[in-house]
Amino acid sequence: MRAYQDRKNLQKKAYYSDRFFKAPPVPRKDVSTDEIFANDLKHLKSLVKIKDSYIELDQLVVIIEPKDICKVMLSLKQELEYDFLSELSATDFLAKSNQFEIFYQLLSMSKRKRLRVKYMISQDQAIDSIMHIFKSADWAEREMFDMFGIVANNHTYLKRLLMPEDWVGYPLLKSYPLEGDEAAKWYEVDKIFGKEYRDIIGPEMRDSATINIKDTKNFARVKHEVPYGEKYSGKPTDFGNYQEDGGVPLISKFKKENSKELNSRK
């Protein structure tokens, strides 16, 4: 029987794990241990439903419902002085629970505190854009769309940012292999030469670590190179002492016997 491969998570996994090993959690603290965070949370609780909240490594983490995000962000920015959006992105938990986790990393310069707002959405769900609250969310949401395919409602220009516009698939999904999928193999061939050249050129080699020992075209034989397309003779390449015929103006001929190798820098 063929070995089972988890199609939903194609990323690299540990080849061996101790059966009895369980990684401990990062220590979490209760919100009441920090006065400023406790007040912030109290204010947020009066506005929306807070699913969970805790302090993880000196940062407040608030888990909310997806529909409340604009309300929470507006309140955080205008009333609670969290006026700097450091980061916004998603994490793919599709293999585990068929959900994405969206996180917003905020900073309050007046309070010197950092806070993270999180919520979960299902795969086909769109999120509300916070571009009208933080302008910096513009590119961050575009990048998220580019990498995960998560659509942000009310975004004014939701287009791929880093990948080409006609790229197929979303690269940061766990189900997307590291070296790219089938469409990625043909992307450049189709774009440069056209689909009709697929048979002649063949798919792009996308695994940069592969060395094909029979290949004489792609520099796979270091110090055993042969001219392009020729058969490998089995002998190491002899470059000899290369000298330009007739010499080069202003450059004296290199004589190996007169040269000296230094043991240390001058």
Partner 1 sequence: MQTPNRLKPFYENLVFEKDDNRMIVNFGPQHPSAHGQLRLILELDGEQVVKAVPDVGYLHRGIEKMAENMIYNEFLPTTDRMDYIAASSNNYGFALAVERLLGIEDKIPRRAEIIRVMLLELNRIISHLFWLATHALDVGAMSIFLYCFREREFAMDLMEDYCGARLTHSSIRIGGVPLDLPKGWLEDLEKFIDKLPENIADYEGLLDKNRIWLMRLEQVGMLSKEDALNWGCSGPTLRGSGVAWDIRKEEPYSIYDELDFDVPVTDSCDSYGRYKLYMQEMRESAKILRQLIPMYKESSPEIVANVPEYISAPKEQLMTENFALMQHFVLVTQGMRPPVGEVYVATESPKGELGFYINSQGDPYPYRLKIRAPSFWHTSVLQEMLVGTYLADVVTIIGNLNIVFGEIDR
Report how far residue 15's alpha carbon sits from residue 95's, in angstroms, rounded to the nearest whole number: 19
Of the residues 1, 2, 5, 12, which one makes contact with partner 1 according to CB under 8 A? 12
Min dist. Cβ of residue 242 to partner 1 (A): 28
DSSP H or E run through 84: strand 84-93
Query: CB under 8 A: which stretch of 39-47, 103-111, 220-228, 242-250 binds partner 1?
Result: 103-111
Task: Tell me whether residue 54 or residue 226 sits nearer to partner 1 (CB atom).
Answer: 54
Residue 68 Cβ, how far from partner 1 at the closest point, in Å? Answer: 21
Kindly state whether residue 139 participates in binding partner 1, applying the rule CB under 8 A: yes
Among residues 139 and 186, whose Cβ is nearest to partner 1? Answer: 139
Output 4 or 15, the one with its CB closest to partner 1.
Answer: 15
Tokens 């004014």 map to which residue? 156
CB of 235 to partner 1, least distance (A): 34
Binding segment (CB under 8 A) for partner 1, from list 84-92, 209-217, 220-228, 250-258: 84-92
Residue nearer to partner 1 on the CB measure, 15 or 20: 15
Whose Cβ is closer to partner 1: residue 19's or residue 112's? 112
Q: Does 123 bind partner 1 (CB under 8 A)?
A: no
Which residues lie below 8 Å from residue 146, measured CB to CB, with a gap of 6+? 160, 161, 162, 163, 170
Residue 20 contacts partner 1 per CB under 8 A: no
Please tell me the count of residues contacting partner 1 according to CB under 8 A.
Answer: 50
Q: Between 132 and 221, name the residue whose CB sits nearer to partner 1.
A: 132
Q: What is the DSSP secondary structure assignment for residue 248, as one 8-state letter?
A: B
Give dist(CA 89, CA 143) in Å, integer: 8
Give per-residue burial for 45-78: e unless 16+ CB within 10 Å, then b.
eeebebeebebeeeebbbbbeeebbeebbebbbe
* Cα→Cα distances 198→74, 185, 190, 193, 216, Å: 52, 10, 7, 8, 21
Closest CA to 172 of 244, 92, 237: 92
Amino acid occupying residue 204: E
User: What is the contact mask toward partner 1 in residues 22 to 51, using x (rule: CB under 8 A)?
Assistant: xxxxxxx-----------------------
What angle, rounded to 10 degrees, do the helices at 69-78 and 35-47 form? 130
Binding residues (CB under 8 A) for partner 1: these are 11-16, 21-28, 56-57, 59, 61, 83-87, 89, 91-92, 103, 105, 107, 109, 112, 114, 116, 134-136, 138-139, 147, 160-164, 171-172, 174, 176, 178, 194
